[in-house]
Amino acid sequence: MLKIQNSKFKFQIVTAFLAALFIFTSSAFAQNETPPTPGAPRAAKIPTVAQKKLPNGLTIATVERKNVPLVTVQFMVTNGANMEMPEEAGLANITASMLTKGTKTRTASQIAEQIEFLGGQISSGAGWNSSLVTVTVMSDKLDAAMAILSDVVLNPTFKPEEIDLLKSQTLDGLAYNLRQPGFLANYVASKYSFDEHPAGGTPDSITKLEREDIANYYETQYKPAESVLVFAGDITPVRANALAQRFFGKWRGSSVIEKVAKMESEPVKPVDATVRRILVVDLPDSGQASVNYLKLIDEGRADYDNNGKGKSSAIFYPGLVLNSVFGGGYSSRLNQEIRIKRGLSYGAGSSFNWRVEKTNFGARTQTKNESAAEVAELVLAEIQKLKTTNVATAELAPRKLVLTGEFGRELETTGGLAQAIAALYTYSLPLSDLNSHIQNVNSITDSEVKSFATEYMKSGDLVIVGDYKIFKDDLAKRFPNMKIDVVKAEELDLSKENLRK
């Protein structure tokens, strides 16, 4: 019999044997073990939001939470990219980003250094619905942080050299991103499917922006009556109101703001088919293809209008639950079908982008160019299942728990709590909405999910970005009765109706 003399070798053999035994027994156990049932949903009790309005019209909202000595302050203007013209795309974000790039008394470096000295963070930017400046700091450093926050909001200088630097960085980012299939698909969808423009701008619009444009946007859009100052964390309403009065009380400005049109073209009349158009953006030699189903939910429907719009409408919670079932996470139907069962992608998902006036829906995934047409067909098949079958309780209950669990986790941080409060003001929702959120999610039934899919998941666009020559024949075979519009990536121009230069 062979004797093993080397003790190190003995140890390696024993370790390997035990590892193999563990894997075997774990596998056998997993096959016979029934996963535990989900626990009962727990309510998330949100502290009362204390609200006050300063004489100049600025709204103050405070949520006191003393579990950690931290405070997040979020200044929000309820205007963003929705207030810029298409040819000015990116103006709102450039303006907001420039706020932290220098004031009358602080340079960009001094702002960063002083916040860092306080052990805090500051950021700024704009999305479609709003513009934000956010500061997070320890509660005993809040007075000093508020001095910096108010300075960047009220006294920006928009120095030409800082503008040039930010524009250069933005253009470099766009040049890179516009070669990425996923980014390019979203970029095109803003115009093609959602009747908008890219909130981050286009190469042409960013290049043309001047200091005068930025200063004018700031003067016309940043008004106290259009703004909210949210405090979340270790701070009392009394202290928050005092700080707001001290640092923002002298801010003046008219509340009259000229609104630009939210819709940039007439909405297309819906059809009953799930897909109304197919667009391919040909990106030769792309490593992968981006496959997207995109739907604008704003068709002048009486029931939609009467129930409010966007996040304030009655479709918000049915849509939220539908998205969790369909594409909201690893265990959603879309990811199960495309990634887990077939291995055609590293991930597939969907989301709603809620606007003040409308709603954008998108299902997105990336795959090999060779399987782009197959994945497109699978996405549409899963949408069709939502319309024709009910969601079993065994599936619906866990998907609701995903939503309520994520909601609870988001509110655990002062930043997440401040953002949730700011969103209520963005969409003109009641402050009580946070405490009713979990109940509203859990009240949605399978029939409501099915009804939402039947009513709204139709007349969408199929947008594929990739190397067209690879999937051209397969796409035509799988969609024989559909016209396929093809535009080359280098010829894209979102200022043109046909998207071509």
**Cβ–Cβ under 8 Å, residues 379 and 334:** yes
Q: Could you give the CA distance from residue 365 to residue 374 in angstroms, rounded to a whole number?
A: 12
Shared domain check, 309 and 232: no
Residue 460 lies in a domain: yes
Q: In the predicted model, what is the mean pLDDT of residues 326-345? A: 96
Residue 51's Cβ-count burial label (10 Å; 0-12, 13-18, 19+) is middle
pLDDT of res. 356: 84
Please provide the average confidence, as pLDDT, over all residues in the chain. Answer: 89
Residue 196 lies in a domain: yes
pLDDT of res. 246: 98
Q: In the predicted model, what is the mean pLDDT of residues 345-367? A: 94
pLDDT of res. 308: 52
Higher pLDDT pick, 423 / 44: 423
Residue that is last in its domain, among 202, 232, 248: 248
**Cβ–Cβ under 8 Å, residues 369 and 379:** no
Residue 499 lies in a domain: no
pLDDT of res. 484: 97
First to last CA, the chain: 81
Domain CATH number, residue 232: 3.30.830.10
**Cβ–Cβ under 8 Å, residues 50 and 410:** no
pLDDT above 70 covers what percent of the chain?
Answer: 84
Residue 184 lies in a domain: yes
- What are 404-455's pLDDT values in tens digits? 999 999 999 999 999 999 999 999 899 888 889 999 999 999 999 999 999 9
Shared domain check, 231 and 169: yes
**Cβ–Cβ under 8 Å, residues 138 and 120:** yes
Shared domain check, 296 and 217: no
Shared domain check, 243 and 364: no
Shared domain check, 227 and 299: no
Q: In the predicted model, what is the mean pLDDT of residues 159-186? A: 97
Residue that is last in its domain, among 196, 213, 248: 248
Q: Could you give the CA distance from residue 117 to residue 328 in angstroms, rounded to a whole number?
A: 40
On the question of pLDDT at 254 being above 70, the answer is no
pLDDT of res. 313: 77
pLDDT of res. 57: 96
Q: Residue 357: which pLDDT band, with cuts at 50, 70 and 90?
A: confident
Residue that is last in its domain, among 248, 263, 292: 248
Shared domain check, 234 and 368: no
Shared domain check, 106 and 226: yes
Residue 497 lies in a domain: no
pLDDT of res. 309: 59
Of 301, 331, 342, 308, which Cα lies nearest the Cα of 433?
A: 308
Q: Residue 22: which pLDDT band, with cuts at 50, 70 and 90?
A: very low
Residue 194 lies in a domain: yes
pLDDT of res. 271: 60
**Strand pairing category for 275-282 and 484-488:** parallel
Residue 24 lies in a domain: no
Higher pLDDT pick, 43 / 125: 125
Helix/strand/coil for 214: helix
Shared domain check, 366 and 452: yes
On the question of pLDDT at 324 being above 60, the answer is yes
Lowest mean pLDDT among 43-52, 56-65, 143-152, 168-177: 43-52
Rg (CA), the chain: 26
Domain range for residue 213? Answer: 50-248
Q: Residue 29: which pLDDT band, with cuts at 50, 70 and 90?
A: very low
Lowest mean pLDDT among 112-116, 304-308, 318-322: 304-308
Q: Could you give the CA distance from residue 228 to residue 237 in angstroms, rounded to a whole number?
A: 14
Q: Could you give the CA distance from residue 426 to residue 127 in angstroms, rounded to a whole number?
A: 11
Q: In the predicted model, what is the mean pLDDT of residues 495-501? A: 93
Q: What is the DSSP string of 260-315?
A: PPS-SSPPPPP-SSSEEEEEEEE-TT-SSEEEEEEEEE-S--HHHHHT-SGGGSTT
Instruction: Give pTM, 2 decimals.
Output: 0.87
Shared domain check, 170 and 76: yes
pLDDT of res. 279: 98
Q: How many residues in total does the chain contain?
A: 501
The number of folded domains in the chain is: 2
Q: Residue 380: which pLDDT band, with cuts at 50, 70 and 90?
A: very high
Higher pLDDT pick, 109 / 11: 109
On the question of pLDDT at 85 being above 70, the answer is yes
Shared domain check, 480 and 341: yes
Shared domain check, 308 and 207: no
- What are 104-127's pLDDT values in tens digits? 999 999 999 999 999 999 999 999
Residue 19 lies in a domain: no
Q: What angle do CA 303, 323, 267 make, to 5 degrees?
A: 45
On the question of pLDDT at 311 being above 90, the answer is no
pLDDT of res. 67: 87
On the question of pLDDT at 42 being above 90, the answer is no
Shared domain check, 461 and 318: yes
Alpha helix segments (H runs only) across 209-259 = 211-221, 237-248
**Structure-block tokens of residue 205:** 């619009």
CA dihedral 368, 373, 378, 380 (to 10 degrees): 130
